[in-house]
């Protein structure tokens, strides 16, 4: 991979078309929780003859307007897949670059989070992350803890199978210690031991770059999420694209296993 292992530019949100909040949706039609798989940074960069890190930088710039718009629309939770447990398999240079980009993003975006009443939360394993990254995560979490608007859950060092495995182990320890009766284990108990404990399940799961897979993301939580696949890569997923995904969600009839008459 060519390019520096450290971000070379300051993260600044790229311009977004149209006024924020300009979506013809009733508040009742909006999902409470939107989860996004931000896919296609590398492909976007290659299409322009640039190294993968160029795509990652532009992808990071694109987070701000999407978070800001979700906050203004009154969405409760936005979860972004930033770095998976499988991403450690990438080259050392790319991993170091991504960790540096995460640090830069959190430092640059804290004022915006505070201005927009956004609460920050990391979901994923802490083990494996450097002390510097953990310190920045903890600092951002503490600084925004009192905010009451949108919760921005950043999935860092996250994998759904690892999450479920950790939950099972934690429950097993409680059973072994006599703190939990096995007969009391239900879906609620399992949910309470996941990284997303306390958050509503995703209503809308968006994936960019046209890929049709979940990539080990929120497998338990997304059991009844509505799926929306955008053909554009993440750096090109703008507010207009977000609005279209929200409109598509509003047009759907959610059944949860029941027989429900379709909307007129």
Give the whole-angstrom CA distance, residue 105 versus residue 88.
19
Q: Edge-to-edge strands of the sheet including 151-158?
A: 119-123, 151-158, 77-84, 33-37, 204-207, 226-229
Residues marked active site are found at 39, 87
Cβ-based neighbour number of residue 260 at 10 Å: 10
Q: What's the token pair of residue 215?
A: 């990539």
Number of C-alpha atoms within 13 angstroms, CB side, residue 52?
13
> What is the residue-wise DSSP string for 203-257?
SEEEE-TT----TTSSTTTTTTPEEEE-SS-GGG--HHHHHHHHHHHHT----TT
Q: For the chain, how big is the Rg over CA atoms in Å?
A: 19
Which token pair is 56?
A: 């990652």
CB contact at 8 A, 7 and 51: no
């Amino acid at each position: 991979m060519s390019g520096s292992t450290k971000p070379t530019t300051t993260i600044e949100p790229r311009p977004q078309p149209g006024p924020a909040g300009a979506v013809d949706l009733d508040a009742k039609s909006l999902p409470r929780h939107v989860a996004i798989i931000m896919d296609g940074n590398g492909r976007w960069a290659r299409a322009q003859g640039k190294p993968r890190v160029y795509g990652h930088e532009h992808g990071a710039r694109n987070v701000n307007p999407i978070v800001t718009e979700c906050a203004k629309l009154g969405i409760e939770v936005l979860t972004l897949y930033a770095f998976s447990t499988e991403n450690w398999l990438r080259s050392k240079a790319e991993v170091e670059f991504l960790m540096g980009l995460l640090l830069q993003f959190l430092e640059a975006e804290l004022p915006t989070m505070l201005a927009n009443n956004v609460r920050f939360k990391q979901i994923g394993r802490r083990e494996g992350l450097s002390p510097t990254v953990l310190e920045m995560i903890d600092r951002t979490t503490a600084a925004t803890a009192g905010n009451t608007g949108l919760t921005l859950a950043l999935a860092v060092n996250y994998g759904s199978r690892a999450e479920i495995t950790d939950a099972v182990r934690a429950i097993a320890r409680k059973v072994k210690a006599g703190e939990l009766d096995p007969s009391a284990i239900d879906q609620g108990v399992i949910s309470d031991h996941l990284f997303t404990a306390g958050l509503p399940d995703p209503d809308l799961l968006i994936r960019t770059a046209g890929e049709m897979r979940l990539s080990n993301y929120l497998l338990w939580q997304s059991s009844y999420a509505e799926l929306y696949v955008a053909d554009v890569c993440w750096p090109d997923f703008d507010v207009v694209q977000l609005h279209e995904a929200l409109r598509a969600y509003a047009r759907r009839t959610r059944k949860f296993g029941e027989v429900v008459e379709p909307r007129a």
